[in-house]
């Protein structure tokens, strides 16, 4: 049985791209986005639960998020969780609805967020390079076992490198688009 599996490498590299896109969605760009509150967890019913499991999050205006809490007893904990999430948001409680005005980003904060987008991209690039290394290691193992010839190994290594280059280009494109969006360019 050959250890090299191109489909597995493609799947793992695509996973790194998806993880980066998910990380980038959570970065604030100055526009209201319901994904902004995805990392917020609320302590309710004796457990930590994602905010979107106890409330409906919507963006009625470009600079406003609305959180409609379903159970009245969870309004306080939801308010507290959003304030302590480190997103710089201060909810306005209105019955069972929390209104969150999205403040303008300062230039300094924009630069911090752009830098963070770059860090996320680097983490994803490292993951892709690790997948490449695993693939090349498997090819060398297959060659030693006699499953592949040296020429086949080299041809597959070229394929792995092309896949790596294409995936890293996709990561860079996603990160630079997000940085432009954050910096307002």
- Dump pLDDT digits (tens) for 154-167: 999 999 999 999 99
Distances in whole angstroms, Cα of residue 72 to Cα of each of 6, 81, 156: 52, 15, 59
Quote the strand ranges of 10-103, DSSP E.
41-44, 47-50, 55-61, 64-69, 92-94, 97-101
- Decide: 157 and 136 in contact? Cβ < 8 Å: yes
- Dump pLDDT digits (tens) for 28-49: 666 677 777 777 888 888 888 8
Q: Can you give the pLDDT at residue 105?
A: 74
Q: Can you give the pLDDT at residue 27?
A: 72
Which parts of the chain have pLDDT scores under 70? 1-2, 28-31, 185
- Decide: 95 and 55 in contact? Cβ < 8 Å: no
Q: Can you give the pLDDT at residue 112?
A: 81
- Dump pLDDT digits (tens) for 44-66: 888 888 888 888 888 888 788 88
């Amino acid at each position: 049985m050959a250890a090299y599996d191109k489909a597995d490498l493609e799947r793992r590299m695509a996973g790194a791209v998806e993880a980066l896109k998910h990380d980038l969605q959570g970065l604030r760009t100055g526009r209201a986005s319901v994904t902004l509150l995805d990392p917020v967890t609320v302590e309710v019913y004796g457990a930590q639960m994602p905010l979107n499991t106890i409330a409906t999050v919507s963006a009625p205006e470009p600079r406003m998020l609305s959180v409609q809490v379903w159970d009245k007893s969870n309004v306080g904990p939801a308010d507290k969780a959003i304030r302590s999430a480190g997103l710089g948001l201060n909810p306005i409680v209105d019955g069972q609805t929390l209104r969150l005005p999205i403040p303008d980003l300062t230039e300094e904060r924009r630069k911090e967020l752009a830098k963070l987008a770059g860090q996320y991209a680097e983490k994803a690039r490292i993951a892709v390079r690790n997948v490449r290394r695993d693939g090349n290691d498997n090819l060398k193992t297959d060659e030693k076992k006699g499953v592949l010839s040296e020429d086949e190994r080299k041809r597959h290594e070229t394929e792995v490198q092309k896949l790596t280059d294409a995936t890293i280009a996709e990561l860079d494109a996603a990160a630079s688009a997000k940085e432009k969006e954050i910096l307002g360019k």
